[in-house]
Chains A and B, each alone.
Chain A
């Protein structure tokens, strides 16, 4: 546990060790801030990899009878796009923000288990290399990010007749890669739970915790309960493939639906694992740029807990089309609709936070507002998908692709950029260029809607997901071309960001310690913070401890009852 006392003043002179070289510092570090940055940089690298895969997919589909990729290459590229974006970009980047920000927010000097933290990072990095290296063998995973059995089995008993399923290494890479990344998720989640429950600053009760910390805590519990399910699924798949068991083979007494139940009982909580920390970021950013405390803190916090619980009761809405009994369909349709309530509670509270505030439309605020709008679209068409007869019509169509991208790109990725622009000054001591940030935001907003909105219509017109080409007489041509143009606009936006990142690191405007006049404890440190974070641990008396410190006359603790 990182509980050493800080002593300043004395210096020792000796030879430098490997750990004091630039390279050694990063390889051996157990500092949560360095690891946070490493997570974020690594995740962003995989974002670029996944983004290039997306561009390949969209280029292939831009016109009918596309010839950029053949069927097998297309299968590998779209599978790795989904796998990379979910497991190697969104999850690690949110863990990266959690790593960097949570200990600072709660007034701790580090995570509870610093070495476990470092291990979690290295496993993500090597797991990512392992998964991506499958392209070098020409055998990247090719059964979609949810890898349905029995398609993922070897050759025998994979259907009514013995046909070839996936005899090569493709699914071995996927299953083993997921196992590796699962180890990282579990270690990270344990670390967050212990850190948040045990290392909070004096006075920071659970009801005074910043919302990002709250949502990281909920997400960590989701990970602890959801990851074992996909781990078990992947292990059973490996046993089927290599040791002759038949867990998913109907022809030998197994049940292919077992995969779907195991996968989705991980997969739907996973959606909330990917979005709850984003909710937390937005709940931090909107109040700061509205110059108000968050409206309905308690509701926002506990609605996150409600979402966490409910997320384990909705998995089979992904399986309506397999022929579930009506009672099961009714149950899962109801629970899915129910989860919209706590989600809407958050959205109403965010709107109420912004309403009447002194708004400052800096780039983090733009992305946060963009998040609310885009996530709302993704949420509403998600509720539509909970309606069983409608789901029958559009299941496995581009409507679903549109829904998940509005949630994960319009939602989480916008929140991630809001977070990057918001906390970058703390991490580096420099402010990202505002003008370039605005250009990036508007390009992304246009690009996202141009790419993903036409997919609603494509889905309603019957375009199935995962087809590698289509004939030109189905009325899909213009919409597909629009979606591809949108994808390239998003790519330009990302290039603008990379340019902004480079010029800021070279010659960015100094940020100071508190460039946004923020409310939470991470801003009560230098930018970047010292290795020990706080020389003296802060004492917390309200939900906005740094605001209290800066404004003793109007401190929250003088009026608030929490």
Chain B
């Protein structure tokens, strides 16, 4: 019984590691949209709260735009 459970656990874990080809057929995943949005929010918060935050936001925005542009598709 314990052996069976261990086996099925192994199978489930293996299944989780499987990447079906159909998953790769859609548009590629990307974290740059998320990063760019965070960067813009930091910049906007910086406008309200402190120029240092604004500076960080602007730099991050530049990084995100460049990262987005250079991302392999």
Chain A interfacial positions (CB closer than 8 Å to B): 2, 4-16, 19-20, 24-25, 27-31, 109-110, 114-116, 118-119, 121-123, 125-127, 129-130, 169, 172-173, 176-177, 179-180, 183, 530-532
With A and B bound together, what is the CA distance between A179 and B68 in angstroms?
22
User: Residue among B16, B18, B26 with the most chain A CB within 10 A?
Assistant: B26
B13-48, CB < 8 A from A: 14, 16-23, 25-34, 36-38, 40-41, 44-45, 47-48
Contact A122 B34 (CB under 8 A): yes
Contact B18 A122 (CB under 8 A): no
Contact A16 B31 (CB under 8 A): no
Contact B25 A14 (CB under 8 A): no
Q: Which of B17, B22, B27, B28 interacts with A14 by CB under 8 Å?
A: B17
With A and B bound together, what is the CA distance between A31 and B34 in angstroms?
14
Q: Which residue of A lies closest to B38 (CB)?
A: A126
Q: Which of B18, B21, B68 interacts with A7 by CB under 8 Å?
A: B21
Contact B30 A115 (CB under 8 A): yes
> What are 21 contact pairs spanning A and B, CB under 8 A?
A2-B27, A5-B25, A7-B22, A11-B20, A11-B21, A12-B19, A24-B29, A28-B30, A28-B31, A30-B27, A31-B27, A114-B28, A115-B32, A116-B33, A118-B33, A118-B34, A122-B34, A176-B44, A176-B47, A180-B41, A531-B23
Contacts A13-B18, A122-B34 given; indicate if A30 touches B44 (C-beta within 8 A): no
Contacts of B31 in A (CB 8 A): 27-28
B71 to chain A, nearest CB (A): 8
Contact B33 A19 (CB under 8 A): no
With A and B bound together, what is the CA distance between A12 and B28 in angstroms?
17
Contacts of B26 in A (CB 8 A): 2, 4, 30-31, 109-110, 114, 531-532
Contacts A30-B28, A126-B38 given; indicate if A530 touches B48 (C-beta within 8 A): no
Q: Which of A7, A8, A19, A125 interacts with B29 by CB under 8 Å?
A: A19
Contact B28 A16 (CB under 8 A): no
With A and B bound together, what is the CA distance between A265 and B68 in angstroms?
34
With A and B bound together, what is the CA distance between A109 and B25 in angstroms?
10
With A and B bound together, what is the CA distance between A531 and B20 in angstroms?
11
Contacts of B16 in A (CB 8 A): 16
With A and B bound together, what is the CA distance between A350 and B28 in angstroms?
41
Contact A176 B23 (CB under 8 A): no
Contact A12 B21 (CB under 8 A): yes
User: Residue among A15, A28, A31 with the most chain B CB within 10 A?
Assistant: A28
Give the secondary structure class of B's interface.
helix
Contacts of A29 in B (CB 8 A): 29
With A and B bound together, what is the CA distance between A118 and B14 in angstroms?
30
Q: Beyond A116-B33, A169-B48, list 10 extra A-B contacts (CB 8 Å).
A: A12-B21, A13-B18, A28-B29, A30-B27, A110-B26, A115-B33, A126-B40, A176-B48, A180-B44, A532-B25
A52 to chain B, nearest CB (A): 23
Q: Which residue of A lies closest to B36 (CB)?
A: A119
B4 to chain A, nearest CB (A): 23
With A and B bound together, what is the CA distance between A114 and B40 in angstroms?
19
Contact A110 B19 (CB under 8 A): no
A171 to chain B, nearest CB (A): 11
With A and B bound together, what is the CA distance between A118 and B31 in angstroms?
9
With A and B bound together, what is the CA distance between A12 and B16 in angstroms?
12
Contact A30 B30 (CB under 8 A): yes
Interface flags for B45-65 (1: CB within 8 Å of A; 0: not) read 101100000000000000000
With A and B bound together, what is the CA distance between A176 and B16 in angstroms?
43
A325 to chain B, nearest CB (A): 39
With A and B bound together, what is the CA distance between A176 and B54 in angstroms?
13
B70 to chain A, nearest CB (A): 13
Contacts of B36 in A (CB 8 A): 119, 122
Q: Which of B27, B40, B68 interacts with A123 by CB under 8 Å?
A: B40
Q: Which residue of A lies closest to B13 (CB)?
A: A16
Contact A530 B22 (CB under 8 A): yes
Contact B41 A129 (CB under 8 A): yes
With A and B bound together, what is the CA distance between A382 and B14 in angstroms?
62
User: Residue among A109, A122, A180 with the most chain B CB within 10 A?
Assistant: A122
Q: Which of A30, A115, A532 interacts with B22 by CB under 8 Å?
A: A532
With A and B bound together, what is the CA distance between A20 and B29 in angstroms?
10
Contacts A122-B33, A180-B40 given; indicate if A130 touches B17 (C-beta within 8 A): no
Contact A115 B68 (CB under 8 A): yes
Contacts A115-B68, A122-B33 given; indicate if A127 touches B19 (C-beta within 8 A): no
Contacts A15-B17, A130-B44, A176-B48 given; indicate if A7 touches B25 (C-beta within 8 A): yes
Q: Which residue of B lies closest to A3 (CB)?
A: B27
Q: Which of A9, A11, A130 interacts with B19 by CB under 8 Å?
A: A11
Q: Which of B17, B25, B38, B44 interacts with A122 by CB under 8 Å?
A: B38
Contact A130 B30 (CB under 8 A): no
Q: Which residue of B lies closest to A187 (CB)?
A: B33
Contacts of B32 in A (CB 8 A): 115
Q: Which residue of A lies closest to B47 (CB)?
A: A176
Contacts of B38 in A (CB 8 A): 122, 126
With A and B bound together, what is the CA distance between A395 and B48 in angstroms?
34
Contact A11 B18 (CB under 8 A): yes
With A and B bound together, what is the CA distance between A125 and B37 in angstroms?
9
Contact A172 B34 (CB under 8 A): no
Q: Which of A6, A12, A16, A24 interacts with B25 by CB under 8 Å?
A: A6
Contacts of A20 in B (CB 8 A): 19
Contact B41 A119 (CB under 8 A): no
Q: Which residue of A lies closest to B39 (CB)?
A: A126
> What 7 pairs across the A-B complex have the smallest Cβ distances?
A122-B37, A114-B27, A119-B33, A118-B33, A126-B41, A28-B29, A19-B29
With A and B bound together, what is the CA distance between A2 and B73 in angstroms?
11
A35 to chain B, nearest CB (A): 10
